[in-house]
Amino acid sequence: MNDLDRALEQYAFGLETLDRLNGFTPFAWNYYKERASRLHQLAVAAGFPPVSYLDVASRAMLMDIHEHPNQAKLQAIIQEGKS
């Protein structure tokens, strides 16, 4: 997996996790991949280095996830992912 694919996957994963934390039923994985691709396309069109931009956006989402007020739900999601 190259850096761009990894960055797209991380961003999509962050989107899905935030949806779940906020009580939404997750959409199909392709929905999150499409949203990540849209961000990538906008970054390229604006002249930003897309991998760097996606990495920063993913890190910001990770901070939101770690600071989410529903930590019990976050732990349940983490445990779900381990099984």
Domain parsing of the chain, residue ranges: 3-82
| Tokens 């989107």 -> residue | 15
Instruction: Identify the CA nearest to 77 among candidates 65, 59, 64.
Output: 65
Write down the pTM of the prediction: 0.85
Q: What is the pLDDT of residue 27?
A: 95
Check if the beta carbon of residue 43 is closer than 8 Å to that of residue 54: yes
pLDDT greater than 90 at residue 11? yes
φ, ψ for residue 48, nearest 5 deg: -80, 150
Q: 9 CB contacts (<8 Å, ≥6 apart)?
A: 1, 36
Q: How many residues does the chain have?
A: 83
Check if the beta carbon of residue 53 is closer than 8 Å to that of residue 39: yes
> 12-69 pLDDT, tens per residue?
999 999 999 999 999 999 999 999 999 999 999 999 988 888 889 999 999 999 999 9
